[in-house]
Homo-oligomer: A and B are copies of this chain.
Amino acid sequence: MDADQVLAYRSEFPIADTETIPILDTPGRILAEAIVSDINLPDFRRTTMDGFAVKAASTFGASEGSPGFMTVRGRISMGKTPDFALGPGEAARISTGGMLPEGADAVVMIEHTEALDESAIEVYKSVAPGQHVVEIGEDFTQGDTILKPGSKIRPQEAGLLAAFGREHVNVYKRPVVGIISTGDEVVPIDQHPQTGQIRDVNTYTLASLVRESGGEPLIFGIIKDDYQALLDACTRALDRSDMVLISGGSSVGARDFTIEALSALPDSRIRVHGISISPGKPTILARVGTKAVWGLPGHVVSAMIVFTMITRPFLYHMAGREPERRRAFRIPARLGRNLASVQGRVDYVRVRLKQDEPGGLIAEPILGKSGLIHTMVKADGLIEIDRDTEGLDKDEPVSVIPL
């Protein structure tokens, strides 16, 4: 099955419930409500400079050689509505962020004036109406939709929520993702592996990827290659999770166990059994009730790549994230060497980025078996080679998916 066909199953899975959290906890979360501007922002005319509020027309013709003379009506206090209005030829001292008085429509920077005494200045430069002024509603107009549900909240979106006085906001809950490692050869990380055994790496890489992708990992430990043990573990995990990841079982026998156990779960449908990608071909997806259960490859690199390219979009969907609301850009680069590829499947190749000519980047492929974690530690990202491509040439433009 093609990756695109697999991704189309996302719509079968429900979006998470919502919860209300304080604004300081929002960054990285996904907004679950539309934020509509209930005020104009700003709701008064502010200056962006220190200087003198004036009627712009009063400065027309002023220059170094022929300064304009203006009467100073007073100083505008920060945070207060001025209690006087300006007439022609009048000015008021104002600091950055201060409110323009009635009659003023521009600000002359302090650098372009000279004080004659407390109540008179000379102006050396004319200003246009609106100059150095933020108009009412120039940032947001009352009634504007300022943020849409599905947006990922960054520091600037948190600031925007603050500007509108939203101390608390409604976000999607983080989907809980159960994580099961399988394999007779896998031992917990606090044990010293005997010859023939390896420590459980996938639990930790997958838990970290889940957290990084907006989910909440829940660890169910290591299960032996045994049908009943796997069935029991899946049942326990499904009881407490919104999605379940089973890694391991890449061998034919173990894969059979996984398929059998997943098929035996109540209200289960096997949706995917093999994806035409490399690495990651022997991936399984079952829909159990409304929950997704994944059989991921056992090799650490394969499991990480399948998670990144296939599972993560499902997690984003369940977490309420609208991909077009905050695009994760691929990084343009040029390929560092020729790469062969098998037609009929999509290949994911680990690359390391190197700086090229100013601004340019070279993507150097990292080759190595998919059981070798050092290749992922060296990698900055992945490139995708299409199913219809025989390979890519050195210097071809590529798009790097950051890791």
Contact = CB atoms under 8 A, between A and B. Distances in A.
Contacts of A376: 156, 159
A111 B369 CA distance: 19
A151 to B, nearest CB: 9
A358 to B, nearest CB: 8
Interface residues of A, number: 107
A78 B225 contact: yes
Contacts of A304: 155-156, 159
A203 B251 contact: no
B332 A44 contact: no
A11 interface: no
A122 B184 CA distance: 28
Contact of A403 (B98, B154, B195): B154
Given A254-B95, A377-B157, A139 B196 contact: no
A399 interface: yes
A371 B24 CA distance: 21
Nearest to A254: B95
Most buried by B among A159, A195, A205, A371: A159
B327 A380 contact: yes
A377 B77 CA distance: 30
Interface stretch (A53-61, A186-194, A258-266, A270-278): A186-194
Nearest to A361: B332
A184 B78 CA distance: 6
Given A167-B190, A212-B27, A99 B196 contact: yes
B359 A398 contact: yes
A199 B39 CA distance: 12
Given A43-B193, A46-B371, A139-B372, A95 B27 contact: no
Contact of A139 (B156, B167, B374): B374
Given A50-B252, A205-B158, A134 B369 contact: yes
Contacts of A252: 50, 95, 110
Nearest to A191: B165
A250 B157 CA distance: 23
A189 to B, nearest CB: 5
Contact of A371 (B134, B185, B196): B134
B329 A162 contact: no
A183 B79 CA distance: 8
A204 B380 contact: no
A71 interface: no
Contacts of A402: 329
Contact of A298 (B96, B186, B192): B96
Interface string A75-102: 0011111000000000000011111000
Nearest to A398: B359
A351 to B, nearest CB: 12
Interface in A118-156: 134, 138-140, 146-147, 154-156
19 contacts: A24-B207, A24-B217, A48-B369, A78-B225, A81-B194, A96-B298, A138-B369, A138-B372, A155-B206, A155-B209, A156-B205, A156-B304, A156-B377, A159-B202, A162-B199, A164-B199, A166-B189, A329-B402, A332-B359
